[in-house]
Structure 1
Amino acid sequence: MDRFINGIEMIAAFFVGIVAADIFISVLLRYFFSFQIPDAYDFGRLLLGILIFWGIAATSYRGTHITVDLVWANSSPRWQRFIDVFATLVLLFVVVVHTYTLFDKVIGTYRDNVLTFDLRLPTWPFFAVAWIGDVSAVLLIAIRTYRLIFHPEAMERGYQIKPVE
């Protein structure tokens, strides 16, 4: 299971690198050579969407997203666990609904034959990769919920899962 989780985190990191390279190369070419990569804006926009959804998957499992722990920090360990489980269940519900609606967007983009501006490439594959990231988020949040309920010692804050060799 940890190998699967680490794989999703590596995919998210890969998309961070792709977005950074796209921006860097586009700015470099435009500034020094007055040349623009065809569809650079569209690719950047679509890749950023992919990055966001894969990032949601990576941060939701680890609980490393932005949190406000004022109530949690002043609660007993029993209530802290309850808050963690409740918050994760709410997050799971929201991401499941979002995944369902994003799938509808993938299908709509495919049916409408939405294309990029310059190269006229279909955009639905970008939406599909983003949707797969959202599905990964659902799986990881479900795993987090299971572990919070049945193996809370493995999900303590600050706990790091050992890398799989």
Structure 2
Amino acid sequence: TIVAVCATTMFSISNEAYTNGKERILYDYRTAILRYHGVNVSHLPSRHRIVLVNKTHTTHRSLRVIKNLVEVKHFIYSTYPKIQLDVIDWNKYTFTQEMHELYKTTILITPCGGISTIIPFLPKGAHAIVMDFYVSKEAYRESDRYRVGESASMDGGF
């Protein structure tokens, strides 16, 4: 499998003309990818499943990670004890496995960054919670629009 990407911020407001009116094409392309990887797109999840994304093995560990992952997991589990809750580290999955796991997910909770680009592969009716990251001195770059101490959104376009 090869996935080609570019540096275009496809979903940003400044590129709205690029995507406006093309929702059907993008949806069909997404569906074709799921089918190619063996996902039965007509079989929607019948029960809730929450996936909490673990990105502790990322190069941006200080920025794009849920620092209190254990606490968040415990809170979700104690609040919704009858709902399946899985903590997933996508590094351990092939792309095909990711597609199958995502399509069984009704609520995805993820830090921002590259992982959140898989959101379009969730089943119809699913929800995603994408967290911002705190701009620390280490994360600050003068060319960025965010300043030290602010909450930065990488995925605002979604």
TM-score (norm 2): 0.23
Bigger CA radius of gyration? 1
Q: Choose between structure 1 and 2: higher helix proportion.
A: 1
Q: Choose between structure 1 and 2: higher strand proportion.
A: 2
Higher relative contact order, structure no. (Cα contacts within 8 Å, ≥ 6 residues apart): 1
TM-score (norm 1): 0.23
